[in-house]
Amino acid sequence: MSDVFLPSAEMAYSSPDAQGFFGPYGGTFVPETVVPALSELAEAFCETLDDPAFAAEYGTLLQDYVGRPTPLFSAERLAEAVGADRVYLKREDLDHTGAHKINNTLGQVLLARRMGKRRVIAETGAGQHGVATATAAALLGLECAVFMGTEDMRRQSLNVYKMRLLGAEVVPVADGTGTLADAVTATLRHWVERVEDTFYVLGSAVGPHPYPVMVREFQKVIGEETLVQLQGRAERIPDAVVACVGGGSNAIGMFYPFLRDLPPEKRPLLVGAEAAGLGLDSDKHGASLAKGSPGVLHGFYSYLLQDDAGNPLEAYSISAGLDYPGVGPEHSHLKDEGLVRYEPVTDTEALEAFALLTRTEGIIPAIESSHALALLPHLAAELGPGALIVVNLSGRGDKDMDIVREGGLGGE
């Protein structure tokens, strides 16, 4: 087997500082009116981390309601097709509601109830976070409103119906491009108006402190389970671990335990796949790490797509969950430190990977997850014979059928 690229670090990987900075990224860049609500949230979140009763209730729900642990599936026919020795899929698509989002929403809605909030709000792009938030709110008896861009509502009409069926109000956002970034802006604006009784359930590892670390805390179960499952099979540490990256919650949930628990010389190559859309040379992509620069967006400092005046640019992806013009601050830090490698994947490559997994293993993935799958042939060639690769299959593709059909894929 050829030598594997192993990023190194001088010291063990650590959490953000007290102000929520991962290196220079993160922080709290918000109006003064929001600061008390964030301080209240940070204090409540810290208390929950030390509360065995909260951990027990959350753990029980993950097991009995979400269906964890999710399987680690050996995709033998897919491995053969991409030229790898072994490919394991972490089956987050089998979570209740069909994606990893429920891990985070359950944690945050439990926290909202603990704080005495009777109402939760959320933003959503692909709709999975909105469905997961509405699901958790229904389970715990809280009111729910989900803000969603009008373009995303068109692309993800099935998830809009599900949210309303679950009792949530879906609030259309027609500002800007009617996509995820506009929905986040609208949700933050609404939260400022109703912080007294409302909890903002943020869906990705973005936003002002403490959201990035809080989302990571509720998603780290993905990577923790993966390490335990590999050990249970007497498997070695993988050569590479891959996940798609929009805001970055599923990826940080997978990567963080590998960074935290393994010394630098034993860590696998960690690879994030971001949306190259119609190509990095076009203006139709969402590759903020490949083509962006550091700036402030939605209350945090990170890489983002922006113009010379610092205004966010429109992001594009065939996937409604990856067309965000920024990325979580921890991912920006990991990029700069060389601890994770981030690769662009075009719409076409993602659709090809979608079809490949569907036809080799009978598993229909979300288009978001298909961006990670698309990197498999390149990684197998780079790593050489005997490569063992783990892919975080972050969601299932039910929601994407119309998009895939429009993209030219279909049955006989």
Quick: pLDDT tens for 164-213.
999 999 999 999 888 888 999 999 899 988 989 999 999 999 999 999 99
Q: Which pLDDT belongs to residue 180?
A: 86
- Domains of the chain as residue ranges with CATH: 31-63+102-214 (3.40.50.1100), 69-98+219-406 (3.40.50.1100)
Residues 331, 129, 171: CA angle, nearest 5 degrees: 120
Reply yes or no on whether the pLDDT at 65 is more than 80.
yes
Residue type, 385: P
Q: How many CB atoms lie within 10 A of CB 364?
A: 17
Both tokens assigned to 280 = 């990095």
Both tokens assigned to 20 = 């929520």
Q: Which pLDDT belongs to residue 284?
A: 97
pLDDT tens digits, residue range 38-60? Answer: 999 999 999 999 999 999 999 99
Supply φ then ψ for residue 168, to 5 degrees.
-85, 150
The distance from CA 341 to its chain's CA centroid, rounded to whole angstroms, is 16
Sequence-distant (6+) residues with CB within 8 A of 202 are 108, 122, 123, 211, 215
Rounded CA separation 301/272 (Å): 19
3-state helix, strand, coil in the chain (%, to 5): 45, 20, 35
Confidence of residue 126 (pLDDT cuts 50, 70, 90): confident
Task: Provide mean pLDDT across the span 349-377.
Answer: 98
Annotated active-site residue in 288, 317, 319, 394: 394
- In the residue annotation, 394 being an active-site residue is answered as yes
Sequence-distant (6+) residues with CB within 8 A of 364 are 354, 357, 358, 396, 397, 398
Reply yes or no on whether the pLDDT at 140 is more than 90.
yes
Annotated active-site residue in 123, 225, 349, 368: 123
Q: Which pLDDT belongs to residue 156?
A: 87
Q: Which pLDDT belongs to residue 16?
A: 95
Q: Which pLDDT belongs to residue 155?
A: 86
Judge whether 328 and 26 are in contact, CB under 8 Å. no
Annotated active-site residue in 101, 117, 162, 335: 101
Sign for the pseudo-dihedral over CA of 319, 321, 325, 330: negative
What percent of the chain has pLDDT above 90?
A: 86
Rounded CA separation 322/129 (Å): 13
253-276 core/surface letters (b: 16 or more CB in 10 A; e: else): bbbbbbbeeeeeeebbbbbbbbbb
pTM of the prediction?
Answer: 0.94
* Nearest CA-CA partner of 272 in 308, 297, 248, 238: 248
Residues paired with residue 395 on neighbouring β-strands, in sequence order: 99
Rounded CA separation 45/35 (Å): 15
